[in-house]
Chains A and B, each alone.
Chain A
Amino acid sequence: MPDINVMQILINFLSLSAFYGLFAVGLALVFGVMKVVNFAHGEFFMMGGYALWLLLALMPGVPLWLVFAGALVIGPLVVAVMGIVVEKAIFEPTSRDAFGGFIASLGLSYVLQALVVMAFGVVSKSLPVMIPGQIQILGGTLTWQRLVVILCGVVMMAALWYFLARTRAGRAVRAASQDRNAALLQGINLRRVRMMTMAIGVAMAGLSGVLMASVINVSPYMGLEAIWKAFIVVIVGGLGSIPGAIVAAMLFGLIDSIVTTIGYGQYVIIIDTVIMLGVLTFFPRGLLGREAPPLDQGQVQRDQFMDGRVCVGLRLALVTGFVAALVALPLMASQYYTGIGILFLINLILVISYRTITTMGGWSFAHITMLAIGGYTTALLQTRLGLSFWAILPLSGIVAMGVALLIAFPVMGTRQFYFFLSTFAAGEAIRQCFIQFRGTFGGIEGIPFLSPPEDLFGLSFYDPVNYYFLALAVCIVSGALLWVFDRSRTGRTIKAMSENENLSAAVGINGLALKMLAFCVGSFFAGCAGSLFAAYNGFVAPTDFTAQFMFKIIAAVIIGGTRTFWGPVIGLVVLTVIEEALTGANQLVPLFWGLIIIFTVLFIPSGLEGLGRRILRRLTAGKPAPATYQGGNDASRA
């Protein structure tokens, strides 16, 4: 039993809560007014860190505490200005489509990371301790640095409270976050309020970045690592609720402080996620989330996308051409391209199955986790039980489906952003399980020495060309099944249900079951893909299943479009071509993807499939059709 130092727990609790509070309240504030989750919130945090690092580099010789004090002012200011630019460039143009804004912020997050990597390098910078020294209080150690964090947290919360409760501008912010229309009627300038909110929200992220910079190392990905915490805090607190965020920040401050102080720090992510899932089970809108929005659903937008059909012959020709190209590839191309082709096929299964999940209206961030689960299942069944690959392949899918069901149970009652954020957290926690439970999953090194599938009809799968055809076969079978599912009565019911949940429930459609079904079906095929992935690589390791990989899947689906089965396929082809064109300049890849995502959301919201469809229609029928899709997800559903 480790020695429990209550005073130390208390001190850690205070400093952790102050940090979580500063970081997460900014996110909650922005969500309250804009109804958009700003995924790039973590990157503003990261920029706060770089602000301090830059100041230190620019001013050698100046006393550290002075630079630190300067950074505490300059960092948030710089970040606030960037926040305003982002609001004007991304959030304001997408203000009628909360989900589009969210996706664009996801792209922005990758753009910012890539820019920082290009400017300052990937390597993380460790900063000196800004204010050295510490005092002992009743057996607990309080470093000055932590004291500053606590003080800043308390001062900022007090200032925010004063601003929101006592000033005119603050009251406008509150009015706007309670009821947009009523605020407009009261003559509140919503644009100004949004700008102000964004500036304050990201400035808080910037401030916490400056504060934490010398505690955790400054790196381009520090935001991505930290945002996870902010998500958990705002989910548990209730999206958009500032008191909720504060309460949840203190709750997790306490939990994390106890867990780390008694020496289980490495399990923090897993423990927090389990708590989050528990809270969501009983409070689907978080602890202090608002009452459900009124039942009346806004008018559903008329979607002219599907008007007129592209002629059947042409579609058939395109599909045949695509499949023929896939068959021809390994016969014509070099071994290198065969390898690329195998990964492409695995990604193809992933994007097609991902689209199946999106048809139910929720975007999962755990799809790559399902791939990982399939991979690890394969590795364990092969190394421990010595099962045949042919039995493992479907089993991997089934295990992934089972895990999906476990996550889905608490998460499915929630909507849109909650679903995305909680699958994000759950995915990260599962990845942590792979890292932390070394005995079973082999830790960060993973599980090596997997063998490819046993020979079939005399074909050896050590030969990449044969493996390619195996992947192609699995891909075509999965694709065909998902295509049928998409057209089936169930598939169409899922889409109708996501368009109008209330009416669906009123006519006897079990929305919850259908959502779970879509999530499980999608995860099943991701698990199968994981099996192929593991057997091809010959090993599984947690470093293969990153947020970047997930981002690629989402990017393919966004760029291609989700309306038809073929959208994500087009998107993936385009992404893969870009990726190959940029070999040699790898750090440019996320930059390009991010920019393309933002561009797609802003200018072609129906994706490339929409664009392609319009062109094909014009070619075949000669009559132009307007495409006026306005993202169908209204913010009140969050």
Chain B
Amino acid sequence: MLRVHELTRRFGRLTALDAVSFEVAEATIHGLIGPNGSGKTTFFNLATGFLAPNGGRVFWEGGDITGLPPHAISRLGIARTFQNTSNFANLTLRENLVMAARNRVRTGALARMLHLRPARDEEAEHGRIAEAILERFGMAGLADTVAADLPGGTQKILGVAIALATAPRLLMLDEPLAGLNPAEKVQLMEILRGIREEGLTLLLIEHDMKAIMQACDRITVLSYGTLLAEGTPAEISRDPATIKAYLGTEAA
């Protein structure tokens, strides 16, 4: 589905990503792991058009999407979350999800600008979709709460809900479990597996090894910007290079 070829990005003298190539298969949960600063977030930014690569290509379902602006990539069906909490802080949860439903818009620009009947109806429809998504994430009662009033963990989950509201086919999540309590983690992983069952593809950056090993179908390991290993969770947990990278930097 998503395939990158020799993707490279430099920041000054630092090579944050060095000729990385791999592919995410349809309807799988793909894990992207690696020590801090190994270039995972940079990979997300390159794949979703937030940064331009210094070299290499990004392909989506066979088409070259390198260099497209982020909103265009989003409209092709790739949704992403940010490592830091990110939402429309002063909107309610329902409004947040309706705002994110841009890809579902079918009415004309003029109707939306002049707040005409079709646009209002469509927006109400998106409100119902938003409520269904909130329900799924166990936030049905919070639809009219302003996002900034939520506790940190719930805002993090809201980020995933926002991404899902864009009607994506690939969901790229940057450390979705960070900042969640154990119960929330279990609940979110459950939801993510449910999403995969529906045929969506997921690409997860995660530091929580247990969650990653349990949930993922395939795992890619980055270290200092290079691709260290790739395989099933069982293969990765036995891979000597990966073990060394993690022991070398994160053993403490």
Contacts and interface: CB of A to CB of B under 8 A. Distances in A.
A453 B168 CA distance: 54
A510 interface: yes
A506 B172 CA distance: 11
A496 interface: yes
A503 B95 CA distance: 14
Interface in B138-176: 146, 148-149, 162-163, 165-166
Given A296-B84, A507-B79, A502 B50 contact: yes
A496 B99 contact: yes
Interface string B69-83: 111101100011111
A482 to B, nearest CB: 11
The CB with the most chain B CB atoms within 10 A, among A302, A493, A505, A506, is that of A506
Contacts of B49: 505
Contact of A507 (B95, B100, B148, B149): B100
A487 B112 CA distance: 10
Interface string A584-611: 0000000000000000000000000000
A134 interface: no
Contacts, number: 110
A490 interface: yes
B54 interface: no
A491 to B, nearest CB: 8
Given A489-B115, A490-B109, A507-B100, A302 B48 contact: no
A291 B51 CA distance: 12
A505 B115 CA distance: 22
B166 A499 contact: no
Contacts of B163: 506-507
Contacts of B166: 507-508
Contact of A508 (B11, B75, B109): B75
Nearest to B146: A302
Contacts of A302: 89-90, 146, 148-149
B54 to A, nearest CB: 13
A301 B89 contact: yes
B113 interface: yes
A511 interface: yes
A95 B90 CA distance: 23
A580 interface: no
Interface string B211-232: 0000000000000000000000
B45 interface: yes
Contacts of B99: 492-493, 496, 504, 507, 509
A503 B88 contact: yes
B119 interface: yes
A500 B89 contact: yes
A270 B49 CA distance: 36
Interface in A298-317: 299-303, 306
The CB with the most chain B CB atoms within 10 A, among A302, A485, A509, is that of A509
8 contacts: A295-B50, A303-B89, A488-B113, A492-B99, A496-B99, A503-B82, A503-B162, A506-B79
Given A295-B51, A508-B102, 17 more contacts: A295-B45, A297-B84, A300-B88, A484-B114, A484-B115, A485-B114, A488-B113, A488-B115, A489-B123, A491-B113, A500-B88, A505-B71, A505-B74, A507-B100, A507-B102, A507-B103, A507-B163
Interface of A: 291, 295-297, 299-303, 306, 481, 484-485, 487-493, 496, 499-500, 502-512
3 smallest CB-CB distances across A and B, nearest first, come from: A508-B74, A505-B70, A302-B148
